[in-house]
Structure formats: C-alpha cells, structure tokens
A and B are shown apart, each in its own frame.
Chain A
Amino acid sequence: MFLLLPFDSLVVNLLGISITVLFTLLLVFIIVPAIFGVSFGIRKVYMKTLLKIFQWATLRIERGAKEKNHPLYKPYVNGIIAKEPTSLEEEIKEIRRSGSGKALDAPEFELSDIFYFCRKGIETIMDDEVTKRFSAEELESWNLLSRTNYNFQYISLRLTVLWGLGVLIRYCFLLPLRIALAFTGISLLVTGTTVVGYLPNGRCKEFLSKHVHLMCYRICVRALTAIITYHDRENRPRNGGICVANHTSPIDVIILASDGYYAMVGQIHGGLMGVIQRAMVKACPHVWFERSEVKDRHLVAKRLTEHVQDKSKLPILIFPEGTCINNTSVMMFKKGSFEIGATVYPVAIKYDPQFGDAFWNSSKYGMVTYLLRMMTSWAIVCSVWYLPPMTRQPEEDAVQFANRVKSAIARQGGLVDLLWDGGLKREKVKDAFKEEQQKLYSKMIVGNHEDRSRS
C-alpha cells in the first residue's frame, strides 16, 4: 500500500513508508491478538526492562544525595506520627489517673480533659486518614517521570539524559501509537455495536455482541499498555449478580470489561461518551440513566432490581464508593447496591503506581488531561482479584453487608479499610459525627442518669 503523492520529495515518501510500516506492525502485533484474546508477551518484557531501569535510577539519586550529604526525601505511606488507637474514654481516664488520686469511675469534669481533644486535634492537623486518600500516592523509588520526582536536585547528567530519552519515547513514540489504538478501539466499538443492534434478538446477536465488546475493550487495554494479572478467575461474576469493585479511575471499567461481559450502569453523558453509550445499549441491555433520574433513588433501585431478577441479563458492574479514591484505601460503600438482594461478586483492583499512577484526581485534572497523562505514562500495571460471591445474611442489614464486602476487598487488595465517605472529597463532614463525640464525652462527666435535655 504505497501512498502516491504529487511531489517526488524523499522526506514525504519516507514519512509515508514509516506510517505504513507502523500501522502494519500495529495490526499484526496488537490488534489481531486483541481480537482473539491472545498475547505475545511483549508487555511483560517491557515491564521487566523498565523495573531494572527504575532501580538503577533510584540508586543514582541515592548516591547523588549521599555525595552532597543530604538526607533523601522518602515518603511514608503509613503516616508520619505515632497515633495510639485508644478510645475517648480510655484516654481521658488515663489523663485523669495521672492527675489525681480521686475515685476514677465517678463521672465528673476535670480541667485536664481538654488535653485529649487538643492533642487529637493537633494530630489530625499533622496527619489525617482521609485527605491523603484524595491525592496521588507518593512513590518510594523514582520512575523517570518528572511528575513523581521529589528529589530532583540530586539528578546527575546521566540520569537527566535518560529522563530526556524517556520523554522522547513516551511522547513521540508511545503516545501516537496509543492514540491510534484508542481511536481504533472506540470506533470499532461504536460501529460494531450499532451493526449488531440491527440483528434480531437471539443467540447469534448475544454471541456477536459479547465478542464485539470484548474485542474493543482489549484494544483499549493495549492502548493504555495495561498489564493486568487476573487472579481466581473461577469466581468471575455470573448472570443475575452484581459485581462491585473499588474505584480508582474510569480505567477500572476497561480493565474489568476486557475480561468479562458486564452490563454497565451510569448516567448518560453528552458528547463522545454519550455516542458510545447509545451505541452500546443497542447491542445489549446496559442500564443508563438520565441526569434527572439519577437523583431518584427509588427509580434507580427499581431498575437495578428488575435487571438482576432477569437471569438472562448480564451481571451489573457498580462502584459503590461513588468517587475515585487513590488506591491506598477503600472508603465507605453506598448501601444502594446492597439492598437489592442479588448475589454480590466482589472484585479487588490494585494498581502498581511504579509504572504510572492511575488515580484520577478529578478536582485537579479534567478527563482529557487525565487520559493524556495515562497515555504518556510507562504503563498501567494492576492486579485484579475475583473474590468468592457473597449474599446478605438474614441478621445483617444493607450497611453491615456493605461493610463486610468492603473489608473483604480491602483485605485482598492490601488496602486500608476506612469508614469515611468518599464524598468528603468535595463535601463537608456531617454534624452527626461531632454530635457522637459530644455524646460520648457527656457520659464521662455526668454518667447515664440525670436529665439530658438542654432546658
């Protein structure tokens, strides 16, 4: 396939040849395997090479820092101050114990009680469990991306050259390749699902729909150079169930959907997203809501219940945290999906931030900037664990069930299990929590008798 051009310029001909070669390579090594779901293993080799280079880079920085006799800035994920996991009661009793020889169990007020609230408050100002979940995780070794470097003053010339080479490779070779793949994947998805949509309902349509979806997601996976390891695939979600997973980025959807056939749930967007959504729903029943319907919780619950009760329909994919968290913890699961009464298939997704941080900080970056950052990282490496299915036990309510599922996911993924609401990214914390603290403290100074109401 030669591009015949009017002017006989050597440069233009060379350009034509290189584009042709590039696309042929693309087709053979990436798109065809994606269609059939096989892999040449190129990505694994790439990953191993990169790891070796990162280790070398980190050693060089450490050497540079040692030469200048400066301590290196090392981020600590487990917190920077010592916190005691004691309760309000225990702490205040201890303070009082050290202060006086009076009878301790009698409820009363001491001036020293304030020390508890004071120290707790200052501790949270120095290091709290919640706000750090909404920004990207800090890395211990450097991965040659300027966005993750905190010790840039210790980089030698050799390292800078390597970094420059990295920039060249990522922006001039990988980025155009990935954009081409993404474009291919999305257009195939839209056209494929639209074409399948014209077929009459039946086994043939289902078969084709499934494979069109899988193929396009696999191409998108390669568009991000995502290297995914799936564990326990025998627990994969089945029809009539709900698949829940922890949420770090929109890429989670692509990662799960390239290994299984799901019905998506979400709000209809405008623009390109909307076009994709409308095309997809022609081939198989996804559950899309209008913006106005999203607020109506009963309507949402009703449609989801109808979907899961129809055993021929696909498992629903839901992210109960409701927002993107930075993959160091799992935050509160919203109870809506756990009230429906279907079998829940929990999935834990853990990204390795060494190769590219997948977390979408939506208050800092828009979608396009985010995707660009993804496509200029080295790779997206993650592990997916399919956990055994869970159902709601008769003695637990939806919230307890949600917490049980959340703990299982946190444990498997090695994430911190938090009770805090991911919505705190944008909203203020509810007053009820402060009122709880006040109630607990009141018990310590007046006990359980006496009148409680404020006159």
Chain B
Amino acid sequence: SVSHSQITRLYSRFTSLDKGENGTLSREDFQRIPELAINPLGDRIINAFFPEGEDQVNFRGFMRTLAHFRPIEDNEKSKDQNGPEPLNSRSNKLHFAFRLYDLDKDEKISRDELLQVLRMMVGVNISDEQLGSIADRTIQEADQDGDSAISFAEFVKVLEKVDVEQKMSIRFLH
C-alpha cells in the first residue's frame, strides 16, 4: 500500500494547493495549476475529484481519486481475490477513463457525449462534420449490442490490448 512518506508528501501538496486553508480544495484551487489549466481535458479531470453535487474535496477524497493511479505491484496481483477490488486495478483504471467520457454518468458513452469530449480535445481545429464522422466510426467499431452507445463492457473490449497498467500509473520517485 501507499507508504507513510508518500502520504506525507501528498498531504504537503494538498495543503499547498489549499489557498483558503480550510482543509478542502475547490475547483478554483485546481484551476490555479497552470499545467492543468492548459490540459484540454483539465475540467473533466478536476471533476473526477468531486463527488456528485459537491464543491469541496477533503484530503481523503483527494487520496481516493489519486489512488487509481498507483502502479499495480506484482505481489498485489496474487493477493486474495476475496477482498474488495483495489482502486488501482486494471478494471478501475479503465473505469476512471470511461467516466471522463461519460458526462451524465449513465454508464454509457452516447454519440453526443463522445462529440462533446472530442470537441474539448481538438478545440476549433476540426469541423463539426468531420468530428461527427469520427464519433460515428468509433461507436460503430465498439458497439456490440446495437444501442449506438458504448457501454463499459464494450469500452473494456476495445481496449483489451492496451497497456493500461503502465499508461494509467504514476510512480513515486522515492
């Protein structure tokens, strides 16, 4: 699990972001990070930290969201299968990415949602028609049950060969 020093370091980071010094972070606190503000999906990522309808996240919630990005250690793979699935399992990492697309949280990525997220990623550089055809093609390739939307299971199937463990993990230096 996460080491004591890593938690201390993340707590130090949490407090340095907490400009209001009230033990919680608001969306503005995140937006103050320049490198995050220039990320095209910055707002979606910030949103992932805030539970439904809430505007503040405490340190526990902060750690919980970041826990998705812990590397999957080898010894954890052979741990007991009876306990609850760890937040940083392959499936949960994929679900985190899925939720970035699924704007209304109905466990389906509709054509409209895919279009909106694509628009965030490309800005003004691609026309509506082109983007539309890209979205159509993507849904067509992934959709298996014919509902013109991508469910989580279909999402997992499309990405079954991708090295999720490596691409959605962040390593501490110490």
B121 touches A438 (CB 8 A): yes
Return the CB mask of A98-142 against B: 1 if under 8 Å, else 0. 111000000011011111111111111111111110010000000
Chain A residues contacting B42 (CB-CB under 8 Å) are 121, 434
**B117 (CB) vs chain A CBs: closest residue:** A114
B128 touches A452 (CB 8 A): no
Chain B residues contacting A275 (CB-CB under 8 Å) are none
CB distance from B20 to the nearest CB of A (A): 13
A452 touches B126 (CB 8 A): yes
Chain A residues contacting B118 (CB-CB under 8 Å) are 109
A130 touches B170 (CB 8 A): no
Name, among B30, B97, B128, B171, the residue most crowded by chain A CB atoms within 10 Å (CB to CB): B97
A454 touches B126 (CB 8 A): yes
Which chain B residues (15-71) contact chain A, with CB distance < 8 Å? 16-17, 30-42, 45, 66, 69
Does B124 interact with chain A (Cβ within 8 Å)?
yes
B162 touches A441 (CB 8 A): no
Bound-complex Cα distance A76 to B9 (A):
9
Interface hit among A53-61, A183-191, A252-260, A443-451: A443-451
A119 touches B164 (CB 8 A): no
Number of B residues whose C-beta is below 8 Å from A? 62
Chain A residues contacting B101 (CB-CB under 8 Å) are 111, 114
Bound-complex Cα distance A206 to B100 (A):
68
Does A82 interact with chain B (Cβ within 8 Å)?
yes
A98 touches B163 (CB 8 A): yes
Main secondary structure of the interface of B (DSSP, over half): helix
**B114 (CB) vs chain A CBs: closest residue:** A111
Bound-complex Cα distance A112 to B174 (A):
29
B173 touches A117 (CB 8 A): no
Interface hit among B72-80, B84-92, B153-161: B153-161
Chain A residues contacting B9 (CB-CB under 8 Å) are 76, 80
Does A95 interact with chain B (Cβ within 8 Å)?
yes
Chain A residues contacting B41 (CB-CB under 8 Å) are 114, 117-118, 121
With contacts A99-B161, A131-B32 taken as known, whether A455 is within 8 angstroms of B128 at the C-beta atoms is yes
Return the CB mask of B125-164 against A: 1 if under 8 Å, else 0. 1111110001001100010000000100001001101111
Does A292 interact with chain B (Cβ within 8 Å)?
no
Chain A residues contacting B127 (CB-CB under 8 Å) are 451-455
Q: Which of A113, A131, A438 contacts B34 (CB 8 A)?
A: A131
Chain B residues contacting A450 (CB-CB under 8 Å) are 126, 130
Does A437 interact with chain B (Cβ within 8 Å)?
yes
Bound-complex Cα distance A128 to B32 (A):
11
Does B81 interact with chain A (Cβ within 8 Å)?
no
Does A428 interact with chain B (Cβ within 8 Å)?
yes
Bound-complex Cα distance A54 to B170 (A):
36
With contacts A95-B162, A112-B159, A132-B16 taken as known, whether A455 is within 8 angstroms of B129 at the C-beta atoms is yes
CB distance from B114 to the nearest CB of A (A): 9
Which chain A residues (39-87) contact chain B, with CB distance < 8 Å? 70-71, 73, 76, 78-82
With contacts A82-B170, A118-B96 taken as known, whether A126 is within 8 angstroms of B13 at the C-beta atoms is yes
Chain B residues contacting A127 (CB-CB under 8 Å) are 13
Q: Could you jot down 16 A-B contacts, CB within 8 Å? A: A76-B174, A82-B173, A95-B162, A120-B39, A122-B170, A124-B36, A125-B36, A126-B13, A131-B16, A429-B37, A433-B34, A434-B40, A437-B38, A441-B121, A446-B130, A451-B130
* Supplied contacts A78-B173, A80-B13, A123-B170, 6 more A-B pairs, CB within 8 Å: A82-B170, A98-B163, A115-B162, A119-B169, A124-B35, A128-B34
Would you list the 10 A-B pairs with minimal beta carbon distance, nearest first? A438-B123, A442-B125, A99-B162, A121-B45, A124-B35, A433-B38, A98-B163, A429-B34, A117-B41, A82-B171
